[in-house]
Amino acid sequence: MSSEWPLWEVFIRSQHGLAHKHVGSLHAPDAEMAVRNARDVYTRRNEGVSIWVVRSNDIVASSPDERDALFDPATSKVYRHPTFFPMPEEVKHI
């Protein structure tokens, strides 16, 4: 038998209440082992307080080919940023 252990993507939540962040991937036979391996591979220096693992095959990603179609529409909507609106100097706390 030469089949490989499946690939898992690993997400770690760091100490300070931030969202889980993708840190890399690893191979493991099942979910439980994936969490244990992730502990050893990605948190040897207290990098995290919580681990998520997801089978890489289960991740749905946008394609680089659709990048323009997906993200271009946002570039013309500069009014979504507060800096679009100049405020008079005298006006405070806004």
Instruction: Choose the stretch contacting other proteins; rule: CB under 8 A; options: 12-20, 61-69, 71-79, 81-89.
Output: 61-69
Note whether 4 binds other proteins by CB under 8 A.
Answer: yes
Q: Which of 33, 35, 52, 54 binds other proteins (CB under 8 A)?
A: 33
Contact 11, 43 (CB under 8 A): no
Q: Locate 67 and state its tokens.
A: 């990048």
Note whether 41 binds other proteins by CB under 8 A.
Answer: yes
Contact 26, 41 (CB under 8 A): yes
Measured from the Cβ of residue 57, the count of other Cβ atoms closer than 10 Å reads: 9
Binding footprint of other proteins on the chain (CB under 8 A): 1-5, 7, 23-27, 29-30, 33, 40-41, 44-45, 61, 63-64
